[in-house]
Structure 1
Amino acid sequence: MGAHSHDNIDWDAHLQRLRAADDFIEPEITEVVGRLLLPGDRSVIEIGAGAGGTAAVFAKSLARNGDDAQLTIVDTAEQLLAAAGKRASSAADGVAVRTVRADAAADTLAAEIEEAGAAPRADLVYAAFVVHHLPDQLAGLRRLAQLVKPGGRLAVVEFGLQTRVLPADVGIAEPGLEARLLNASEQWFQQMRAEMDGAVRLPVGWPKAMSEAGLVEATSFSYLIDRPAPLDESGRAAALRHLAMLRRDADERLAAEDVSALDQLLDPDGEHYAGNRDDLHYLSANTVHIGTKPA
């Protein structure tokens, strides 16, 4: 969102992956939205559209809160906005759903939302896995805080614990393959941040950053995505998507033996294909950081 290019994306395949991911974690997202949305809330701004799974949950919850509810979805990608808007609009009657093409990294964010005909402030502003893509994360939090009504909340979801899907020893390469894959992924992320134009470090935790952004009563809670082995079809697909992401830049960061092992795990025609294993699991924890706009 606002920090990477959408050029050369196979949108049909990308949306299919995003929709599958939404469906996989819908129970957890429903619980998160239930904790965040208060009975008196009538408006939500979601920053980062995805395929609209979270927006649909917000639409259903807002509909239960009463009339005149508004949901605004913001992203830079027209394809994502169209998909998210359609899914959210079909999820609940009586909720005004608006999509706004705008950049969370731009100081004109609030003005662009207002110019698109949506309310520039909301009872709840929600941004999942967005802020870490912004060059200046603290400035991004301050920008998002401007979208919150006095007394409202900003909720930012960021990674808690790294996702685990493999047993400690998969029978190829040395034991501990997944730990090495995750270490390489963390290296990739830190390099991505370091090479970002205008990158500014954020040497504090998210609740502290919320306070520095002018919000009060900063707090956090985490939610688990816990699917033990054996996984069903959707679980196996989620585990395979995770392993495919770990393949990114693996050649530059891993020993050849580990790259070969990962390729074998991802090869549907090979004897070591992870999709055929009955010991795959899916365990992950994400953290929701919440700050309140002073009344």
Structure 2
Amino acid sequence: MAHTHTHDNIDWPTRLAALRRADDLDAESNRHVADRLVRLLGATAAPVVVDIGSGGGGMSAAFAGALAAHGGGRVVLSDAVVELLDAATTHVRAVADGTPVVVESVQADASSDNLADQLPQADLVWASRVVHHLPDQQKAIDGLARMLAPGGWLALSEGGLATRCLPWDLGIGEPGLGNRLTAARDRWFVGMRAEMPGTRSLPVGWNKALEAAGLSGVCSFSYVVDHPAPASEEVRQSVVDWMAWVAKVGEDLLSESDRATVARLVDPHDDAYVGGRDDVFILGASTVYLGQNAR
């Protein structure tokens, strides 16, 4: 099957299972964030929430729950990758079934010049870790801002603190593997953006980018994602997902020794399989930047 082109050339359909596992693991955090953002909409009747780059659908499901508690509304999922969009929409519709929440989906490229014409005017636009995958990040944010109804909010989840999930010494390989995996991922990301056609740098913080898009009341908040040891089976599998993904994209940036170590750690048939350890964990923080269309 041919997959939809993405600017980053990542084969996102192969990531669907890992995205869904991460959504399930972080469902409580997602609910808190969705409730907080929907409260910003005040007495708005049947508000429209658009989830840009909806991925596995975890946040759209959280918004569906928050809107149901609000009295109803509309959740619109949007993604460039049809396989992800179809699976996420099916999931969110199941969550919203029997509630006064309408669930729709629109396949669209978040960097499109006419994105605001493809999607409904929104009271809240949510975009999580999608803008940094687009060539011109400021242009993309400008386009998201144009989607807002008067008084509507743009919530951009970008940055925070890098995830940590491994003990310093795993008993095989050189200690400090987690730090080297994170460094390799960061170097891969720089290279990925450099190779992206039409890429432009964004040499300011996300709050400044929202201000440049003409939004008012720009602010931010952060929240901790903490799944401590001893790890549940779900946490262990998510750690395996993370290691396998980072090792894949950063393969050429890791030493031969580290590649061999990771191969053992993600192999369920190896005695060193990290998915069999209860001393792994997930600890990180995400930041949400907010700006309002004050017109």
Indicate whether 1:282 and 2:273 are aligned.
Answer: no
Q: Which runs of 4+ in 1 moved over 6 A?
A: none
Q: How does 1:1-295 map to 2 (within 5 A)?
A: 2-5=6-9, 11=13, 14-38=15-39, 39-41=42-44, 42-67=47-72, 69-92=73-96, 93-113=99-119, 120-295=120-295
The CA deviation string for residues 62-94 of structure 1, in whole angstroms up to 9 with x for no partner, is 122224x22111112222222222222222222
> Partner of 1:169: helix, strand, or coil?
coil
CA distance in 2, matches of 1:72, 1:251: 36
- Segments of structure 1 that go 5 or more residues without pairing to the other structure are 114-119
Quote how far apart the aligned CAs of 1:127 are.
Answer: 0.5
Q: Which amino acid aligns with 1:95?
A: V
Contact (CA 8 Å) 1:250, 1:259: kept in 2 or not?
A: no
Quote how far apart the aligned CAs of 1:242 are.
Answer: 0.8
Contact (CA 8 Å) 1:2, 1:105: kept in 2 or not?
A: no
TM-score, normalising length: structure 1? 0.91
Q: Report how many aligned residue pairs link the two structures.
A: 285
Quote how far apart the aligned CAs of 1:5 are.
Answer: 4.5
CA distance in 1, matches of 2:10, 2:266: 25
Quote how far apart the aligned CAs of 1:171 are.
Answer: 1.9
Contact (CA 8 Å) 2:207, 2:289: kept in 1 or not?
A: yes
Percent identity of the aligned residues?
42
Moved more, 213-222 or 247-256: 247-256
> Partner of 1:16: helix, strand, or coil?
helix
**Cα root mean square deviation, aligned:** 1.7
CA distance in 1, matches of 2:185, 2:15: 20
- Segments of structure 2 that go 5 or more residues without pairing to the other structure are none
Q: Which amino acid aligns with 2:280?
A: L
Contact (CA 8 Å) 1:265, 1:272: kept in 2 or not?
A: yes
Moved more, 44-53 or 200-209: 44-53
Q: Which amino acid aligns with 2:270?
A: G
The CA deviation string for residues 239-283 of structure 1, in whole angstroms up to 9 with x for no partner, is 111111121244311221111111121121222111122211111
> Partner of 1:50: helix, strand, or coil?
coil
Quote how far apart the aligned CAs of 1:126 are.
Answer: 0.3
Moved more, 81-90 or 182-191: 81-90
TM-score, normalising length: structure 2? 0.91
